[in-house]
Amino acid sequence: MVIEMNQETATLGDMPTESTVGTIKGKTMIECKNVSFSYDMGKTNTLDNITLDIPEKQVTALIGPSGCGKSTFLRCFNRMNDLIDTARITNGTIRIMGQDIHASDVDPIELRKRVGMVFQKYNPFPKSIFENVSYGPRIQGIKDKKKLKEIVEQSLVGAALWDEVKDRLNSSAFGLSGGQQQRLCIARAIAVQPEVILMDEPCSALDPIATAKVEELILELRKNYTIVIVTHSMQQASRISDNTAFFYLGKLIEYDATATLFSTPQQKQTEDYISGRFG
Amino acid sequence: MSKTSTSGEARAFRKRAGFRLLGMDFQDIIRHFFGGNAMVAIIVLVLISAFLAKEAFFFFPRHLEELRAYRNTGQEYVGYLDAEIKAHRKITSQATQAYNLQLRAAVKGELALQEVAQELKGIFREKIVDERKAVKDTTEKAGVLEFVGGEALEVALKEQAQAEKTLQVAIEETAKGIFLDSLVRTEVRPGPGDFDKIKKAVTRELMGEETPWLDELAATITRKQEASAEKYRVFGDTVNELVAAQAPLEDLWSGLRKTTAENRDLVEKARTAPRRKKALEDGARLTDDADKKAQMLAKAAAVQLTEPNADEMTQEVYAQRDEHLVVRKALLEQTRELAKKIPSKVSAQDSNELLAKMPKVLATFEKKYSHLGEQAEAWSHKKEIGMWHSVVTFFLGTEWVTNSSWNDVYGLMPLFSGSSMIALIAIFIAVPFSVAAAIYVNQIAGPVEQNLIKPTIEFIQAIPSIVLGFFGIVVLGDFLRDFSQLEFLAWIPGFPMQERLNALNAGLLLAFMSIPTIFTLAEDALNNVPKAYRDASLALGSTRLQTILKVIVPTALSGIVAAVLLGFGRIIGETMVVLLVAGNKIAMPEFSGGLGILTEPTHTMTGIIAQETGEVEQGSLHWRALFMVGMVLFTISLLLNSLAQGVLKKFGSKS
Ligand SMILES: Nc1ncnc2c1ncn2[C@@H]1O[C@H](COP(=O)(O)OP(=O)(O)OP(=O)(O)O)[C@@H](O)[C@H]1O
Ligand SMILES: [Mg+2]
């Protein structure tokens, strides 16, 4: 069931003309410049003129009310939006590690090997745990059994799942609990050794204990990967992220170090949203 | 806490009084209505199965009686003789053919010229049709007027002369327009000199003159053939002796055959005797005419109710067995002797090909003949035939012969193999097409293509099968045969095809018919694969093709297998197309012919029911045999369906 939100009554006041962007420390991994995005060939812009830089090996959280375009923005980074015929970037550029990802010589298949994704609803394949994790390496052409085993173990250890599943690698992934399945999906994503991991509300289908485990894992992964995470939980954002971007109606309102954004928001909408007066 | 009384608000959720019928409220009635409808469907199915089973299973006891009659009348023994003669005929026909080809080869050139003359004559005649008709008409008229005489006759004779002259001019004119290139039918091209000679001769013949050249040609042919026959006299004599050697066995066979057929008539009569008697008695009771009544009663009393005695019936067979054993031995020895005299090489190429196969033919004959001998020697009408024999000969029998005056045989195998052959052809062709189409439509095509392809394929289902059958006869049959006659395709087994209507033709049409079934179900199965799997796979950097092959198809595999099984069921059960297109030849396929059997005409289980049910007597053995075939079909469909369901249950997607 879809519950539509009435945006007329749930307004956060006037839109600011400029987005507030604080100083973000670190080396830039993803660089977005004036990005506009449309689902209907440019008739209406779902994302409007977004400029922000995401630093390397940090956790960046995207927050905002439902329908503001967080998932859309996230899916721009691995060009998953390409699957929708009428969707396109109407303006601006996105660079990852300095490369414009919409340049004509960029292969989205190759891009997705470097920019992994974890979905809101855990979605392991109807295969064994081993096959799930080894899927990515296998389609990249790795056939050697020993090598695959090594990768699977490393990935599962990296996803903090190894101890729980090492004895039943060949049983179906559907036998795992929800939290375990989501961590399996993370293991599957890191098995192809990406630079960036995109996570779209990875904990929204999990109970608090499973959520805690995944959050712990994210903090661990942060050492090696650049993580962009969409979340609806302010607490989660403040617990695990280094930087937070607040979106509203397809616009970037405010972007800053998490501590700063939550303690001293610059924009009125940000303040209303994080203090729960809206949403 | 004090307890509340039920008198207050709680009344609100008590059952309300209202419409009631037979103690049921409205909800109950609706429930029973729908439940009842489902029940009716199930009951009808059970009734149909029970009816089929009842009618079919009484086949076996009746079939057993028939098999016993075949033995008790001695017909079985005659069957051995029959088989011996047929086995021997294979040798004689092979040898005769080889000999005739050799004789023909000696006069090949002359025969070719004769053929050319024949074609030329045809060409001429076509061009001078009108003139010839005029001559014929005027001649007739003159013939009639001959008795009248006078002026009218004179006019008529003049007309006739005129017509004849016109014809001659026409022939001469036509001759000018005919060249060597005008010949299209004859394979051999004569040299220009020969052609001129032939043309002249044909012209003369048409004009009613003498044609010494053509006469000479015919004489040459006879002479040369005689010379050749002289040269191969030993061969020719051998062939004749081979044929003649059969005569004693054939005589024996025809004598015994007559006796045993009479025996069989007796048995049949005895079987219907009680019924006839009762009919006569009933008739007598109903007539008022005293004379007729007496007559009928007398007839009824005369009906023999006793079954004919097997010992008596087979007496003749036993009496002739010793003679048979002597005769067959003589035939074998004679054949061995004569076979040595058949030359292994002659001058004609095509007869050499036949002669090369001779040793193999002889070996097969020896084997078969000695086996038949053993059977004949051991034969006894007292040997019991068990029920299992009745069952086995039906299911594994390789012959299906009905309405024969000698003995009917009901063996399922030719029909079963025909059905399976066609179904396998169809499924091999249909599966790749429909599964690939389903994958394309579901995974690759854009919405425009989807909206075009899906309804189009589903429309195939709406084509009446009789229309497809018609198409198979009128269009596909000719096309396939012409196609198979292309020279560079001759390496394909079964090509060039002899018949237009055959298993391949039917298989192709059935493949076409089953595509929508398999396509729709497979597409459903693919559609049921959650989009999340596709997204996950693509997000890991796999291509579309990898995603389809490694994630989507494996996930939908159980559904696709079920689709194929159901498609197979549809193919096996299809009747109209196979009846029209399969060629309806009841025979076991010659498996030694390899894949070539696929282009042979064949008959099917469904086809035989459709074809024969209309003309059999209810309750007869033949009728029950058809029911039994129906039962087999029913069982196959049931198995396929439950298999499909089992596959879905066991391996169906668990998400
Ligand atoms: N495939 C699509 N085609 C057309 N419009 C879409 C599509 N997906 C999303 N949208 C629209 O784009 C807007 C942004 O959607 P998006 O899913 O990015 O929001 P979100 O911020 O992720 O919301 P949520 O928090 O509920 O997930 C919404 O108005 C939505 O209706
Ligand atoms: Mg979203």
Q: Which of A39, A63, A84, A249 has the most ligand 1 atoms within 8 A of CB, as the residue to mutate?
A: A39
Q: Quick check: A245 and A252 in contact, CB under 8 A?
A: yes
Mean pLDDT within B435-447: 92
Answer yes or no: do A126 and B550 touch at CB < 8 A.
no
Mean pLDDT score, A91-108: 91
Could you tell me how many helices (H) and strands (E) chain A has, helices first? 10, 11
Q: Which residue has the tokens 């509300």?
A: A201
Chain A from 10 to 69: CB within 8 A of any B CB: none
In angstroms, rounded to a whole number, what is the distance separating the alpha carbons of residues A24 and A243?
Answer: 8
Give yes or no for a contact between B357 and B94, defined as CB atoms under 8 angstroms apart: yes
pLDDT per residue as tens digits for the range B220-271: 888 888 888 888 888 889 999 999 999 999 999 999 999 999 999 888 888 8
- Cα(B195)–Cα(B201) distance, rounded to whole angstroms? 10
Distance CA A94, CA A80 (A): 14
For residue A270, give the 3-state DSSP assignment: helix
- Measure B475 CA to nearest chain A CA, in Å: 43
In a domain, A227, yes or no: yes
pLDDT of residue B151: 82
Q: Would you call A159 helix, strand, or coil by DSSP?
A: coil
Q: How many domains does chain A have?
A: 1
Give pLDDT, residue B590: 81
Q: Which of B532, B536, B543 sits opposite A109 (nearest CB)?
A: B543
- Angstrom distance (rounded) from CA A153 to CA A172: 17
- Over the range A17-47, which residues count as b (16 or more CB within 10 Å of their CB) and which as e? eebbeeebeeeebbbbeebbbbbeeeeebbb
What digits encode the pLDDT tens for the residues A2-41? 344 444 444 555 666 677 787 788 888 999 999 999 998 8
pLDDT of residue B102 exceeding 90 = no
Q: Could you give the CA distance from residue B327 to residue B586 in angstroms, rounded to a whole number?
A: 33
CA distance B476 to B487: 19
CB contact at 8 A, A243 and A258: yes
Q: Do the chains contact at A174 and B535, CB–CB below 8 Å?
A: no
pLDDT tens-place string over residues B527-578: 999 999 999 999 999 999 999 999 999 999 999 999 999 999 999 999 999 9
- Kindly tell me if the per-residue pLDDT of B628 is higher than 50: yes
CATH of residue A205: 3.40.50.300
Report pTM: 0.77
Contact A116/B539, CB-based, under 8 Å? yes
Contacts of A109 in chain B (CB under 8 A): 541-543
Q: Is residue A2 part of a domain?
A: no
Flag whether pLDDT at A107 surpasses 50: yes
Q: What is the CATH number of domain B432-651?
A: 1.10.3720.10
> CA torsion sign, B188 to B194 to B196 to B201?
negative
Pocket probe for ligand 1: among A37, A40, A70, A88, the residue whose CB has the most ligand atoms within 8 Å is A70
Identify whether the C-beta of residue B482 lies closer than 8 Å to the C-beta of residue B404. Answer: no
Question: Distance (Å, rounded) from C-alpha A56 to C-alpha A60?
Answer: 10
- What's the confidence (pLDDT) of residue B8? 59
Residue A12 confidence (pLDDT): 56
B536 contacts A112 by C-beta, under 8 angstroms = no
Please tell me the distance between residue A231's alpha carbon and the centre of ligand 2 in angstroms: 9
What is the pLDDT of chain A when averaged over all its residues? Answer: 88
Contacts of B47 (CB under 8 A, 6+ apart): none
User: A72: CA distance to ligand 1 center in Å?
Assistant: 6
Kindly indicate the confidence band of residue B602, based on its pLDDT and cuts at 50, 70 and 90.
very high
The mean pLDDT value for A64-87 works out to 91
Nearest to A257 by CA among A89, A31, A46, A53: A53
Contact of B445 with chain A, judged by CB distance below 8 Å, is answered with: no
Q: Is A21 helix (H, G, I), strand (E, B) or coil?
A: strand
- Token readout for B66 is 């028939």
Domain with A58 in it:
25-123+194-268
Collect all residues of chain A within an 8 Å Cβ-Cβ radius of residue B538: 80, 83, 112
The answer to whether B508 touches B425, Cβ cutoff 8 Å, is yes
pLDDT of residue A2: 39
Give the pairing of strands A99-100 and A88-96. Answer: antiparallel
From the CA atom positions of chain A, what is the Rg in Å? Answer: 19
Query: What is the pairing mode between strands A47-55 and A99-100?
Result: unpaired
End-to-end Cα spacing for chain A = 19
pLDDT of residue A70: 92
Round to whole Å and give the CA distance between B394 and B61. 12
pLDDT at A16: 66
Do the Cβ atoms of B539 and A192 come within 8 Å?
no
Pair of tokens at residue B553:
């198809």
Is pLDDT above 60 for B648?
yes
pLDDT tens per residue, range A108-120: 999 999 999 999 9
Task: Write the pLDDT tens digit of every residue in B88-98.
Answer: 999 999 999 99
CA distance B620 to chain A (A): 57
Sequence-distant (6+) residues with CB within 8 A of B233 are none
Within a domain: A172: no
Torsion of CA B39, B45, B48, B54, to 10 degrees: -90
Q: Which residue has the higher pLDDT, A19 or B586?
A: B586
CA-closest candidate to residue A243, choices A260, A230, A222: A260
Q: Report CB contact under 8 Å: A109, B532.
A: no
Residue-wise pLDDT tens digits, A176-218:
988 899 999 999 999 999 999 999 999 888 888 888 888 988 9
Residue B382 reports pLDDT greater than 60:
yes
Q: Is the pLDDT of residue B493 over 70?
A: yes
Q: What is the pLDDT of residue A3?
A: 40
The mean pLDDT value for B195-203 works out to: 84
Buried b (16+ CB within 10 A) or exposed e, A196-230: bbbbbbbbebbeeebbebbbebbeebbeebbbbbb
Answer yes or no: is A221 within a domain: yes
* Mean pLDDT rounded to a whole number for chain B: 87
